[in-house]
Amino acid sequence: MTKDSKIKVDYENNPFFVATNGITKLFNLATGVATVMIVLSVLSFFGGGVDSPEGSQREAENFFNTVSGWSAEQWTLAVGAGLIIGLAVLMISALFGGVSAYTSAELAKGNRVALGKAFRTAFDHLWPFVWLQIVMFVKLVLWTLLFIVPGIYFAFRYSLAGVAFYDSKKNLRGNAAIQESLKLTRNGWLTTFSSNLLFNLLTFGVLGALISTGVNAELYRQFGAVGDKKPQAHWLAWITLFLPFVLVVFLFTFLIALAVGLAVGGSVGL
């Protein structure tokens, strides 16, 4: 078997099949985790609710009117409560993120993953994983300050850091896991981006946690197998890259046309 044919067998650059292969493997080898990821994804998508701009403005005005009269003691209690709530949210997010990353690391090796084992492992490594999330967050904020685009680019370049963290053969922590993700995704950013985004667009972002767990497992496996010399990105990956911009332009054009139509209709009625 030639090297090229081996790459064709081990490496999938079609973002649609990267996602479907990863999701299929997730359901076959980690059914319990897949179920939790579906529930988590749906709750995350619908949990925020939808409010009108007028309602948001009224809530903001009521909030500022309330806090403007607070004493120093009330501010101290509020800040303390906010820090405690923020830490709790960070830990819960890291726990579920650890379950996802651990599952991806095990699926990349073809191992079965029990839900209880995934949660125990994520809990045992919670604080080092929290530190990894903090380091990535700080780096992404700094990159985002450079006109946003670098932040988006590196968000996907860092996407395999959690999987590298839970790879028992590498035992990487903190910035070392981030550097490993940069190494793995070198020359594969577009495949990484499109494999995550395409299915999120097709499912309207409802199944984000499920998709990323499966996609990261597939990408981690094949990127580690082929190294830096990756096949060129699939044509569907290029379409996925430009599709959000096309949708934004279409929506903007539609809103302008709608506004012009309403204006013309109003003038005719007068």
DSSP 15-53: HHHHHHHHHHHHHHH-HHHHHHHHHHHHHHHHHT----H
| pLDDT tops 70 at residue 200 | yes
Give how far the C-alpha of residue 50 lies from the chain's centroid of Cα atoms, to the nearest Å.
Answer: 21
Give the count of domains, the chain: 1
In whole angstroms, what is the distance from residue 60 CA to residue 66 CA? 10
Contact 181, 158 (CB under 8 A): yes
Q: Is residue 244 part of a domain?
A: no
Confidence of residue 32 (pLDDT cuts 50, 70, 90): very high
Over residues 182-209, the mean pLDDT reads 90
Q: Tell me, yes or no, whether 141 lies in a domain.
A: yes
- 241 domain residue, yes or no: no
Q: Is 49 left (phi over 0), alpha (psi -120 to 50) or beta?
A: left
Rounded Cα distance, 3 and 225, in Å: 12
Band (pLDDT 50/70/90 cuts) for residue 258 is confident
Report whether pLDDT(234) > 60. yes
The verdict on residue 110 lying in a domain is: yes
Q: Mean pLDDT over all residues of the chain?
A: 85
Examine residue 99 and state whether it is found in any structural domain, yes or no. Answer: yes
pLDDT band at residue 9, thresholds of 50, 70 and 90? very low
Beta carbons within 10 angstroms of residue 180's beta carbon: 20
Domain extent, residue 117, equals 10-47+75-234
Model pLDDT for residues 152-185, shown as the tens digit of each residue:
899 999 999 999 999 999 989 999 999 999 999 9
121 touches 166 (CB < 8 A): yes
Q: Is residue 62 assigned to a domain?
A: no
Between these two residues, 249 and 101, which has the higher pLDDT value?
A: 101
Report DSSP letters for 142-172, one per residue.
Answer: HHHTTTSHHHHHHHHHTTTHHHHHT-TTT--
User: Using 50, 70 and 90 to split pLDDT, how confident is the model at 15?
Assistant: very high
pLDDT for res 206: 84
Residue 41 is assigned to a structural domain of this protein: yes
Q: Cα(223)–Cα(160) distance, rounded to whole angstroms?
A: 10
Is there a domain that residue 4 lies in?
A: no
More confidently predicted of 86 and 4: 86
- Look at 66 and 255; give whichever has higher pLDDT: 255
What pLDDT band is residue 6 in, cutting at 50, 70 and 90? very low
Q: DSSP state, 69?
A: T
CB atoms within 10 A of CB 81: 10
What is the structure's pLDDT at 52? 47
Name, in order, each residue with C-beta under 8 angstroms of 250's C-beta and a sequence gap of 6 or more: none
Where does the pLDDT of residue 139 fall: very low under 50, low under 70, confident under 90, or very high at 90 and above? Answer: very high
For the segment 65-117, what is each residue's pLDDT rounded down to a tens digit? 676 777 778 778 888 888 899 888 889 989 999 999 999 999 999 999 999 99
**pLDDT (mean) for 207-218:** 92
* Mean pLDDT across 252-265: 75
pLDDT at 8 over 90: no
Asked if residue 112 lies in contact with residue 137, where contact means CB atoms within 8 angstroms, the answer is no
As a whole number, mean pLDDT of residues 260-270 equals 64
